[in-house]
């Protein structure tokens, strides 16, 4: 990388470009998007070029400049500012700001109505990367939806890994009561990207190749251009819903959650919790393992009801179950090493041993 830029270590940061081809790269730290505003002063004639990329791989080479709305950027992490000049001109960048365009109806993008937390920090980060990706993909309702064809992993797309398709595989594992396999797949595929220093480290990617490069669909409609791949792809955010609905086990069965279901699957985790909000109110559930079994606590809106499906502590042995300190003897359905009971809305504590 060629750079003659000199950066000021004080805040707010300033940088000076000297001579033709000198560049400076601004790393926003996470996926961003919107309209860039640039304040600068210059000596001599020339032009400033702006280049954007989501991944580190494609970082390229007194006045005020604001990008017109028609040039609003859909998503990037790195902004490269390039000086193009025929003489010894220099440009001092005084202020650079970004008018973020994601989820325009929310003033605070961190004010999530749902959440997930467990004993594995990698899974926690992956859940929020999926949630943030959905925010980055949300546009005003007046904008027509744009649907793209991803294709199957094999044989139509050999050597390609599609996070969208893998999201269905996650669900298949937990539906088959193999939560550990689902968690391993999440850590392997989504964990690879969120820990990749060349990516956004904040969102989920559309797809990638088995050799660890970003050339997904490179010869199938993407013009042999790996920079075309989306690094904030809403269709790839499967772990965020799977961890809530299958690992914590909290999901709605009818509109708004008038009826709901809680069916946790532990895998190799020690604890997990999640929640969300509908117009009926807050839905929250958490479980934690202990030496004798586990404790499930949950809170759902009053006036609702649902089924709680509890895994056996020991295979083929019916567990002891207490709900709000009352031991259950009747009204329990035992199927496939699980015990299911009907519960009304409110806050409850379930102890299973």
Alpha carbon separation from 12 to 7, 83, 94, 95, 97 (Å, rounded):
11, 21, 8, 7, 11
Q: Are 206 and 229 in contact (CB under 8 A)?
A: yes
> For residues 106 and 225, which has the higher predicted lDDT (pLDDT)?
225
Judge whether 23 and 82 are in contact, CB under 8 Å: yes
Q: Mention every residue, 6+ apart, whose C-beta is less than 8 A from residue 133.
A: 31, 203, 204, 232, 233, 234, 236, 237
Task: Return d(Cα 41, Cα 234) in angstroms, integer.
Answer: 39
- How many other CB atoms are there within 10 angstroms of residue 263's CB atom? 19
Q: How confident is the model at residue 315 (pLDDT cuts 50, 70, 90)?
A: confident
What is the mean pLDDT of the segment spanning 209-213? 86
* Cβ–Cβ < 8 Å for 318, 339: yes
Residues 142, 238, 149, CA angle at the centre, nearest 5°?
Answer: 60
- Predicted pLDDT at 5: 43
| pLDDT band at residue 3 using 50, 70 and 90 as cut-offs | very low
For residue range 58-75, list pLDDT tens digits in order: 886 555 656 676 666 678
Distant-in-sequence, close-in-space partners of 326: CB < 8 Å, separation ≥ 6: none
- Mean pLDDT for all residues in the chain: 85
- pLDDT over 70 at 153, yes or no: no
Contact 148, 222 (CB under 8 A): no
For residue 61, the model assigns a pLDDT of 58
Q: How confident is the model at residue 143 (pLDDT cuts 50, 70, 90)?
A: very low
Q: What is the pLDDT of residue 248?
A: 98
Query: Residue 348's pLDDT is what?
Result: 97
| Residue that wins the pLDDT comparison between 26 and 13 | 26
Residue 66's pLDDT is what?
A: 63
For residue 314, the 8-state DSSP code is: B
Which range, of 12-16, 37-41, 93-97, averages the lowest pLDDT?
Answer: 12-16
Map out the domains of the chain with their CATH numbers.
6-100 (2.60.120), 115-240 (no CATH), 249-352 (2.60.420.10)
């Amino acid at each position: 990388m060629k750079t003659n830029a000199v950066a000021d270590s004080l805040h707010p940061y300033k940088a000076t470009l000297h001579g033709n081809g000198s560049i400076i790269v601004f790393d926003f730290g996470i996926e961003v998007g919107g309209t860039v505003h640039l304040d600068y002063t210059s000596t001599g004639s020339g032009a400033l070029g702006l280049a954007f990329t989501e991944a580190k791989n494609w970082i390229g080479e007194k006045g005020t400049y604001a990008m017109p709305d028609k040039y609003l950027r859909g998503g990037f992490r790195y902004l490269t500012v390039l000086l193009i000049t025929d003489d010894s001109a220099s440009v001092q960048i005084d202020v650079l700001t970004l008018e973020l365009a994601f989820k325009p109806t929310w003033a605070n993008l961190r004010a999530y109505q749902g959440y997930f937390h467990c004993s594995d920090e990698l899974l926690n980060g992956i859940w929020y990367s999926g949630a943030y990706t959905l925010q980055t993909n949300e546009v005003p309702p007046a904008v027509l939806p744009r649907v793209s064809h991803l294709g199957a992993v094999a044989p139509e797309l050999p050597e390609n890994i599609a996070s969208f398709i893998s999201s269905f595989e996650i669900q298949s594992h937990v539906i088959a009561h193999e939560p550990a396999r689902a968690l391993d797949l999440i850590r392997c595929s989504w964990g690879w990207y969120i820990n990749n220093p060349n990516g956004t480290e904040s969102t989920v990617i559309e797809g990638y190749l088995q050799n660890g490069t970003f050339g997904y669909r490179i010869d199938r409609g993407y013009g042999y251009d790996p920079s075309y791949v989306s690094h904030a792809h809403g269709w790839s955010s499967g772990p965020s819903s799977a961890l809530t609905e299958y690992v914590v086990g909290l999901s709605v069965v009818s509109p708004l959650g008038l009826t709901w279901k809680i069916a946790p699957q532990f895998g190799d985790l020690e604890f997990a919790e999640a929640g969300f909000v509908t117009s009926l109110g807050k839905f929250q559930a958490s479980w934690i393992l202990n030496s004798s079994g586990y404790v499930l606590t949950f809170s759902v809106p009053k006036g609702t009801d649902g089924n709680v499906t509890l895994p056996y502590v020991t295979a083929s042995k019916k567990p002891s179950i207490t709900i709000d300190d009352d031991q259950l003897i009747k009204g329990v359905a035992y199927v496939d090493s699980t015990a299911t009971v009907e519960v009304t809305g409110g806050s409850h504590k379930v102890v299973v041993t």
